[in-house]
Amino acid sequence: MVEAQVAPAQTLPQLAQQLRVDSIRCTTAAGSGHPTSSMSAADLIAVLLAKYLRYDFDKPELPNNDRLVFSKGHASPLLYAFYKAAGAISDEELLSLRKFGSRLEGHPVPVILPWVDVATGSLGQGLPIGVGMALNGKFLDKLPYRVWVLHGDSEMAEGSVWEALGTAAYYKLDNLTCILDMNRLGQRGETALGWNSRVYAERARAFGWHAIEINGHDYGEIDAAYQEAVSRTGQPTFIVAKTEKGHGVSLVADKNGWHGKALSANEAAEAIKELGGVSSLVVKAQKPQDQKPATAPSSGPYQCPRYEAAYSTREAFGDALKALGAARAEVVALDGEVGNSTYSEKFGHAYPERFFEMFIAEQQMIGAAVGLASRRKVVFASTFAAFLTRAYDFIRMAAVSRASIRLCGSHAGVSIGQDGPSQMALEDLSMMRAVFGSTVLYPSDAVSAAHLVSTMADLKGISYMRTTREKTPIIYKNEDSFPVGGSKVLRESSADKATLVAAGITLHEALKAYDQLKSAGINVRVIDAYCVKPIDIATLARAARETGTLIVIEDHWPEGGLGDAVLEAFTRDVGTLPRVIKLAVRSMPGSGTPQELLDAAGISAKHIVETAKQAL
């Protein structure tokens, strides 16, 4: 085994061929995977490892390690071959690729593998995430680490990439380098731009980047480009590297029909011979300077905002976020150019150095949140709840990344009123419930909202708070507590004939309905299901046992929201299903006052009263 601290020029070809050979070996052993997409970028990664990457593989937790993101996550064989070449994994582990229980999954995932920061495999996500990492290095931790993103050419069609290009230039992220592995061939043929490197470079330049066109198999050109990237100030660098898919092996080089296919054992043997045989060169990456981040986590006392009079939950979110910012230096906020609606601007005005405007680019916003989270920041990202649908793929992938990020969606439901259905989130609870390991919160008053924001700061995984446009009355005492997985029984008697389960805006309708039913001599229980996921099974089960019928009222489509969350509770060992009646939005809303639209949707107090009377 040869070991080189910094590889001399003659080591590079050997290193690159080893990366190719290992990409073939592990995919052939797996019987699937992406050898050719790995081989195109082998020279680019070899030069990076040998001369530019500053990374301590023994201490992946070092804050000043460079970050390397494989946006083209399907080139994971190359990534794993690179880990072997860096001395981080054994040849034996390399050959476990894609096998059940192996750390080397089909696409890279973090935590399982300590050198991976974020999961990739859904294309077009590496650069928006890299922007988050670079924002952290430049503006928060103030560390000289660099962010390197290996990018595919097919994924340049994804809009999220251009959101990232615009954002990176806006923030002058000169610590960010995008290496475009322009191998011409996508999954089913040529990409839209083929080998037209000039067009890629012109687009990158128009977006404010320093762009360089090179031959991605020429070590001198690669070296010069990386040198330019690390020397450049005031601008991120975009390297368009012309490469061949499957480079180095005549059977597959620049051939269509070889995307995502492993070579057979015989083909692999031939290919490995052509590449110079199996080797186990280890090239130690340079170590970074051991610098401490400028922002150390801190935990001062959280001064929870207090409320007495009607107040919107969205504004309480803003107040609480600001209070959290005062207590903890690692809290960071992002917004999609609606900070004066979500009220994240309260944080932004107080802590402008920790607030990043993402403009109307929700995918970039979530990508940046994931990147910042990977750098140990407690990130909140907010926009209209409806527009988080724009970033669903990023949210889904954030869960695969095991990232902890906190989302707030304002202006949810028909109760926003006049703006109409394009602005009404009516699927957000469903969308967020179906995210692995998520927490879904829907407070009905400012007190509970403010408490839950501080709770979110310490939650693992993806947490989501739905807030309401309108002011709502204060229900709770400022001293109350709102644990995750809990609920509040607001009205209860031994004579309860049914239970109203609601959250957010509809809770207030339920309370009005309670009064009307009470006047009519009908007792009902009222539960505030402020935590939609995980839902309070015990309290719901007791209500079912004691009152028989549950009426769930939600400002949401009938599918996947609070009603389904309540039903879900009865699929565990809580006996048979109770009778559940769901009041939800079942026709397409238009414009109108909030009350008109709640009435039209059949989720206002009036309808709750009618439903309860009919049911009893």
Q: How far is the CB of 551 from a copy of itself (least distance, A)?
A: 10
Contact by Cβ (8 Å): 574, 589: no
Stretch that binds a copy of itself, among 295-303, 371-379, 512-520, 587-595 (CB under 8 A): 587-595
Q: Which is nearer to a copy of itself, 130 or 293 (CB)?
A: 130
One DSSP character per residue, 559-585 reads SSSHHHHHHHHTTSSS-S--EEEEE--
CA 70/CA 130 separation, integer angstroms: 10
Q: State the first-to-last Cα distance of the chain, in angstroms, to the nearest integer.
A: 80
Q: Which of residues 481-500 bind a copy of itself (CB under 8 A)?
A: none
Residue 515: both structure tokens together:
């009064």
Among 420, 473, 486, 602, which residue sits at the site for a copy of itself (rule: CB under 8 A)? 420
Q: Which of residues 161-190 bind a copy of itself (CB under 8 A)?
A: 161-163, 166, 170, 186-188
Q: Which of residues 431-460 bind a copy of itself (CB under 8 A)?
A: 431, 433-437
Contact by Cβ (8 Å): 42, 20: yes
Interaction between residue 582 and a copy of itself (CB under 8 A) = yes
Stretch that binds a copy of itself, among 35-43, 245-253, 423-431, 489-497 (CB under 8 A): 423-431
Q: Which of residues 27-66 bind a copy of itself (CB under 8 A)?
A: 30, 32-33
Annotated catalytic residue within 163, 221, 362, 427: 362
Among 17, 23, 40, 120, which residue sits at the site for a copy of itself (rule: CB under 8 A)? 120
Stretch that binds a copy of itself, among 57-65, 244-252, 282-290, 593-601 (CB under 8 A): 593-601
Among 22, 174, 445, 564, which residue sits at the site for a copy of itself (rule: CB under 8 A)? 564
Beta strands in 427-537 (DSSP E): 439-441, 462-466, 471-472, 488-491, 498-502, 524-528, 531-533
Among 11, 600, 602, 606, which residue sits at the site for a copy of itself (rule: CB under 8 A)? 600
Residue 362 annotated in active site: yes
Q: Which is nearer to a copy of itself, 145 or 258 (CB)?
A: 258
Interaction between residue 309 and a copy of itself (CB under 8 A) = no
Among 35, 63, 77, 106, which residue sits at the site for a copy of itself (rule: CB under 8 A)? 106
Q: Which is nearer to a copy of itself, 155 or 330 (CB)?
A: 155
Q: Which is nearer to a copy of itself, 285 or 544 (CB)?
A: 544
In terms of DSSP bridges, do strands 439-441 and 176-182 run parallel, antiparallel, or are they unpaired? Answer: unpaired
Contact by Cβ (8 Å): 97, 30: yes
CA 316/CA 306 separation, integer angstroms: 9
Among 207, 209, 355, 442, which residue sits at the site for a copy of itself (rule: CB under 8 A)? 207
Size of the chain, expressed as the number of residues it contains: 616
Site size with a copy of itself, rule: CB under 8 A: 111
Binding mask 124-163 for a copy of itself (x = CB under 8 A): x-----------------------------xx-xxxxxxx
Q: How far is the CB of 124 from a copy of itself (least distance, A)?
A: 7
Interaction between residue 72 and a copy of itself (CB under 8 A) = no
Q: Where are the alpha helices (DSSP H) in 293-422?
A: 313-327, 339-342, 345-350, 362-374, 392-400
Q: Where are the alpha helices (DSSP H) in 505-561?
A: 505-519, 537-547
Q: Which residues, at least 6 apart from 490, have a Cβ–Cβ distance to it below 8 Å?
A: 475, 507, 511, 526, 527, 528
Residue 26: both structure tokens together:
């592990």
Q: Which is nearer to a copy of itself, 304 or 435 (CB)?
A: 435
Q: Which is nearer to a copy of itself, 105 or 319 (CB)?
A: 105
Instruction: Name the nearest CA neighbour of 520 among 586, 450, 453, 610.
Output: 610
Q: Which of residues 527-546 bind a copy of itself (CB under 8 A)?
A: 533
Among 286, 558, 602, 606, which residue sits at the site for a copy of itself (rule: CB under 8 A)? 558
Provide the sign of the torsion angle of the four alpha carbons 39, 43, 49, 54, taken in this order.
negative
Contact by Cβ (8 Å): 336, 366: no
CA distances from 48 to 7, 80, 147, 400, 486 (A): 11, 15, 12, 27, 50
Q: Which is nearer to a copy of itself, 82 or 387 (CB)?
A: 387
Q: How far is the CB of 27 from a copy of itself (least distance, A)?
A: 10
Q: How far is the CB of 257 from a copy of itself (least distance, A)?
A: 9
Per DSSP, the three-state class of 407 is strand
Q: Which of residues 333-372 bind a copy of itself (CB under 8 A)?
A: 337-341, 345, 359-361, 363-364
Q: How far is the CB of 489 from a copy of itself (least distance, A)?
A: 21
Per DSSP, the three-state class of 241 is strand
Beta strands in 174-236 (DSSP E): 176-182, 210-215
Catalytic positions, please? 362
